Amino acid sequence: MTTMESDIYYDPYDFEIDTDPYPVWKRLRDERPLYYNEKYDFYAVSRFEDVARCSMDWETYISSKGTVLELIRSNVEIPPGSIIFEDPPTHHIHRRLLSRVFTPRAISDLEPKIRGFCARTLDPLVGTGGFDFIGDLGAQMPMRTIGMLLGIPESDQEAIRNRIDEGLRLTEDSMPDFDAKFGDGIQPADGFAEYIEWRATHPSDDLMTNLLQAEFEDETGALRRLSRQELLSYVNLLAGAGNETTTRLIGWTGKVLADHPDQRRQILEQRELLPQAIEELLRFESPSPVQARFVTRDVEHYGQAVPAGSVMLVLTASGNRDERHFENADQFDIHRKIDHHLAFGYGIHFCLGAALARLEGRVALDEVLQRFPTWEVDWENAVQARTSTVRGWDRLPVVTP
């Protein structure tokens, strides 16, 4: 049986599959390591090494036509400055610029502020019998953190987060109509435009000011600063990517550690386990499970031709459960020795915010455990999120003693 004739079905928009995709992904890895979906006309790789290899080969598997299947299919115009939707040389130029201001020191300086926010949020919930890992913490803290970095007033942060959430949500288990939504091309949300103009005349010690003032040599050799359009794209990217994936990580922390109370107790008693617990959570339930790439030349995988012009899905979360790379990969183990995982991508598009996401995940879990040593998920009221880009929870209420 060829890949084209496979009896296995994988669909990134299918809600039933998305509820628990791991059995399907395991079959793909074992039986159809190159998969073809006729309905949506895409190929997919699911093994760790294949996901890593495709992620590294940015010349064959490009990002500039989009990194989401429906975005590639729409052929909409992508504005400059969205580095996850760029290829070299522009990608390298914009990434270097962002790296200059998104420094380790800037990230580490946020820890006491993040802890302070967690304390203000969680303290009033002690003794109430429960809280929501998403509504009370996961949906709030990442946007507050990005707001601290960018200098966005707290009064504006929730509206920005709600707009991002609404843009990602799927209402039906089928490919969304991107043409209807973005027929004139993707334009960065203008919610930041007024604030950027205000910050330009009121500089401060924040990332927004640094981006406004940074000079760089662009692909034409000209020395200049970011245009307002580029800056809007930068800020929307930081707000969107930095908010959604970390929200999902915090939600999975609540769910997975409720499922593994013995390991939760070990973390409670040995806080030095926090960093490796977060790494195992990222591997075990990767918040960004699938990315899309446009194929620029004819290639072959497992004896099957993939023609130029195709779309290749790289199943990151499947690769992180690949038994060929991780022993007992379907088991959650905070003592696992992880050389590297794929949750933050691989290659030139490795997530610039990885250090920030790790910090937020670690601080959130630490602060929760200080106040709530045990919890159980309230499954009657839990709601899984439905998007084509991230996987996690819209609501994850828990019951506490």
- The per-residue pLDDT for range 146-170, each reduced to its tens digit, is 888 877 766 666 666 666 656 556 6
pLDDT, one tens digit per residue, over 278-318 is 999 999 999 999 999 999 999 999 999 999 999 999 999 99
| Average pLDDT, integer, range 26-32 | 97
What token pair was written down for 165? 């959430």
pLDDT band at 218 (very low <50, low <70, confident <90, very high): confident
pLDDT at 176 (0 to 100): 67
pTM of the model: 0.91
Query: At 3, is the pLDDT very low, low, confident or very high (cuts 50, 70, 90)?
Result: very low
Residue 185 has pLDDT above 80, yes or no: no
Q: Are 269 and 330 in contact (CB under 8 A)?
A: no
Contact (Cβ atoms closer than 8 angstroms) between residue 25 and residue 391: no
Number of other residues whose CB lies within 10 A of the CB of residue 66: 25
Handedness of CA 135, 138, 142, 144 (dihedral sign): positive
Q: What is the mean pLDDT of residues 92-103?
A: 83
Residue 345: what pLDDT?
94
For Cα atoms 215, 216, 220, give the angle at the middle one, nearest 5 degrees.
Answer: 135
| Domain range summary for the chain, segments of one domain joined by + | 3-399
Decide if domain 3-399 falls under CATH 3.40.140.10. Answer: no
pLDDT at 239 over 80: no
Identify which has the larger pLDDT, 271 or 155: 271
CA 286 remoteness from chain centre: 8
Cα separations (Å) of 36 from 2, 40, 68, 174? 10, 9, 16, 17
The predicted pLDDT at position 1 comes to 35
What is the rounded average pLDDT of the residues 13-38?
Answer: 96
pLDDT digits (tens, 9 = 90+) for 244-264: 889 999 999 999 999 999 999
From residue 180, alpha-carbon distances to 76, 77, 108, 301 in Å are 11, 14, 42, 34
Q: Dihedrals φ, ψ of 399, to 5°?
A: -100, 130
Backbone φ, ψ for residue 389 (5° rounding): -120, -35
Position 227 pLDDT exceeds 90: no
Q: What is the mean pLDDT of the chain?
A: 89
Average pLDDT rounded to a whole number, residues 187-202: 74
Residue 5 has pLDDT above 60, yes or no: no
The arithmetic mean of pLDDT across residues 376-387, rounded, is 95
